[in-house]
């Protein structure tokens, strides 16, 4: 049985920090990467995204569908 993987890097999102340096108009969180390791029937999501908003943009049909059965 072979394993495959899909990697998704969510775009940076602004922080809610009120005290900014003079040269910045906002601060950003670092991008978050999630990795789906999957076989024919099973999968594991490594480092899942922290909120629902970035998860709605997951490019992998397996990640959006809940993995390998497509349901």
Identify the DSSP state of 30: P
Q: What is the DSSP letter of 12?
A: P
- Kindly list the domain boundaries of the chain, sorted by start residue: 4-15+25-65
Q: For position 41, what pLDDT does the model report?
A: 83
Please list the ranges in the chain whose pLDDT falls under 50: 67-71
Q: Say what the pLDDT of residue 3 is.
A: 93
pLDDT value of residue 57: 59
Q: Is 59 left (phi over 0), alpha (psi -120 to 50) or beta?
A: alpha
């Amino acid at each position: 049985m072979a394993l495959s993987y899909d990697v998704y890097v969510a775009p940076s999102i602004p922080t809610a920090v009120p005290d900014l340096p003079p040269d910045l108009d906002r601060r950003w969180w670092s991008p978050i990467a999630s990795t789906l390791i999957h076989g024919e029937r099973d999968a594991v999501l490594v480092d899942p995204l922290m909120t629902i908003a970035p998860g709605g943009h997951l490019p992998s049909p397996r990640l959006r569908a809940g993995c390998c059965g497509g349901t």
